């Protein structure tokens, strides 16, 4: 590459930055000049942008760490590390290495400028996600990278409120934030936080099933741990569903619904999990017939699967048990079995369906599932 070509390349980088082209356009310019594939990733090796021709791996991390062909340059600005810019499919020549370094520096300046301007308003990124303002996940990740936010592919929303007088709830949001930061912080991705009036909505990274399970456990323990440290602070909450980055609004809605349902059903000072609320979700949200049918099918599916595999009659026993007013002796007579057999089957039903027949709330869920099934899904 001649000196004139190098100057032209650098000037084009400057023009792209000045015109607001952004990191994607800068990466595309490098791909055209180097004749290869370019991959821009954030600090946690998640894809932000890709450009150019040739085979580009999903991530450059394995390539870089193994020493395989391909080059990666950190994208930095001062002490800030925004991620990695990688180049593939070209010969390892000093010219292309220089182009890679120049482009990485330009992207670093671009991201640092955006991050500096937007740092006081980091929550607006999460507001934008809730409003579904991003056209795709790549544009959302690029925006997050520009703001210095490390995002995860999946999140679980948690809605929290202080059980106090309305005028005091707003003042206690700061304490809620502090407890949430301790309870839900993750080392690999940032905790999202949005305030909705007196409600604090948190988006907890949940890339793995164990992450979601740990979040639910931490949320359930939060009211007690807060009460021990701050006796005046009584917390109620709701946990939503695991959703992708672009579907955070769905998880937030479920979390807020769980908060409202849990407060009405169990009282304040507890955290309710949306997936565990059974029939209450449908009744609260005014579900249509199809959702009621899907709910019944989901609630009875474990029993049906067990019956089919083991040639048992757990579903029939449950329906008959409810039909005869939960009279074990009458149910045993109609099933032509000993009453101890009915007791055994009822214990099995509770274990397999993950519901306690001694709990009024779980019993409502199973009763409603049976009623819907008999009304709409004749077998």
Dist CA 326 CA 357 (whole Å) = 10
Q: Place 379 in a pLDDT band, splitting at 50, 70 and 90.
A: very low
Structure confidence at residue 202 (pLDDT): 92
Dist CA 70 CA 299 (whole Å) = 51
Q: Are 246 and 140 in contact (CB under 8 A)?
A: yes
Distances (CA, A) of 70 to 13, 64, 182: 22, 7, 40
Structure confidence at residue 236 (pLDDT): 92
Q: Are 351 and 326 in contact (CB under 8 A)?
A: no
For the cut 80, the answer to whether the pLDDT of residue 164 exceeds it is no
| DSSP three-state, residue 45 | coil
For the cut 50, the answer to whether the pLDDT of residue 29 exceeds it is yes
Starting at the earlier edge strand, list the strands of the sheet with 37-42: 47-52, 37-42, 80-88, 71-77
Q: Is 242 exposed, middle or buried (0-12, 13-18, 19+ CB in 10 A)?
A: buried
The H-assigned helical ranges of 57-122 are 61-66, 94-118
Q: Place 109 in a pLDDT band, splitting at 50, 70 and 90.
A: confident
Structure confidence at residue 193 (pLDDT): 86
Residue (of 325, 314, 324) closest to 355 by Cα position:
314
Contacts 24+ apart (CB under 8 A), 208-212: 211/156, 211/186, 212/156, 212/242
State the residue for tokens 């890709």.
Answer: 50
Structure confidence at residue 121 (pLDDT): 47
| DSSP three-state, residue 153 | coil
User: What domains sit in the chain, N to C, each tagged with a CATH number?
Assistant: 3-119 (3.30.450.40), 154-277 (3.30.70.270), 288-376 (1.10.10.2840)
For the cut 70, the answer to whether the pLDDT of residue 259 exceeds it is yes
Residue (of 192, 201, 13) closest to 107 by Cα position:
13
Helical pair 22-34 and 94-118, crossing angle rounded to 10 deg = 180
Dist CA 190 CA 209 (whole Å) = 18
For the cut 60, the answer to whether the pLDDT of residue 350 exceeds it is yes
Strand spans (E) along 142-190:
154-162
Structure confidence at residue 67 (pLDDT): 60
Distances (CA, A) of 125 to 115, 148, 242: 12, 11, 19
Task: Name every residue whose Cβ is closer than 8 Å to that of residue 96 and which is 6 or more positions away in sequence.
Answer: 34, 36, 71, 87, 90
| Mean pLDDT along residues 21-25 | 81
Dist CA 340 CA 49 (whole Å) = 64
Structure confidence at residue 80 (pLDDT): 64
Structure confidence at residue 321 (pLDDT): 93
Quick: pLDDT tens for 34-83.
Answer: 888 899 888 777 788 888 877 788 888 876 666 655 688 888 766 567 78
For the cut 50, the answer to whether the pLDDT of residue 231 exceeds it is yes
Structure confidence at residue 69 (pLDDT): 59
Q: Place 353 in a pLDDT band, splitting at 50, 70 and 90.
A: very high
């Amino acid at each position: 590459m001649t000196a004139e070509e190098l100057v032209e390349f650098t000037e084009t980088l400057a023009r792209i930055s000045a015109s607001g082209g952004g990191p994607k356009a800068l990466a595309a310019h490098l791909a055209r000049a180097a004749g290869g594939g370019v991959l821009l990733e954030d600090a946690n090796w998640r894809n932000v942008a890709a450009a150019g021709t040739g085979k580009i791996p999903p991530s450059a991390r394995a390539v870089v760490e193994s020493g395989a062909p391909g080059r990666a340059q950190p994208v930095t600005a001062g002490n800030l590390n925004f991620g990695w810019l990688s180049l593939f499919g070209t010969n390892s020549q000093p010219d292309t290495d220089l182009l890679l370094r120049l482009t990485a520096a330009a992207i670093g300046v671009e991201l640092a400028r955006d991050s500096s301007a937007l740092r006081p308003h980091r929550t607006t990124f999460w507001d934008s996600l809730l409003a579904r303002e991003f056209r795709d996940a790549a544009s959302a990740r690029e925006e997050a990278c520009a703001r210095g936010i490390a995002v995860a592919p999946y999140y679980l929303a948690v809605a929290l409120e202080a059980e106090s007088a309305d005028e005091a709830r707003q003042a206690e949001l700061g304490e809620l934030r502090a407890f949430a930061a301790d309870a839900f912080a993750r080392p690999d991705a940032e905790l999202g936080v949005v305030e909705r009036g007196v409600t604090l909505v948190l988006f907890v990274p949940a890339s793995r099933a164990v992450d979601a399970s740990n979040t639910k456990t931490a949320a359930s323990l939060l009211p007690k741990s807060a009460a021990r440290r701050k006796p005046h602070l009584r917390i109620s909450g709701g946990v939503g569903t695991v959703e992708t980055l672009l579907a955070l609004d769905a998880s937030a809605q479920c979390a807020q619904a769980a908060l409202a349902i849990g407060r009405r059903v169990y009282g304040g000072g507890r955290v309710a999990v949306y997936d565990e609320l059974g029939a209450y979700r449908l009744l609260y949200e005014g579900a249509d017939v199809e959702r009621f049918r899907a709910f019944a099918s989901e609630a009875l599916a474990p029993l049906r699967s067990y019956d089919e595999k083991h040639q048992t009659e757990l579903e029939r026993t449950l329906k008959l048990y409810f039909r005869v007013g939960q009279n074990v002796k009458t149910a045993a007579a109609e099933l032509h079995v000993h009453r101890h057999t009915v007791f055994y089957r009822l214990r099995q039903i509770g274990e397999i369906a993950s519901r306690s027949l001694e709990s009024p709330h779980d019993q409502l869920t199973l009763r409603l599932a049976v009623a819907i099934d008999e009304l709409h899904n004749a077998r």
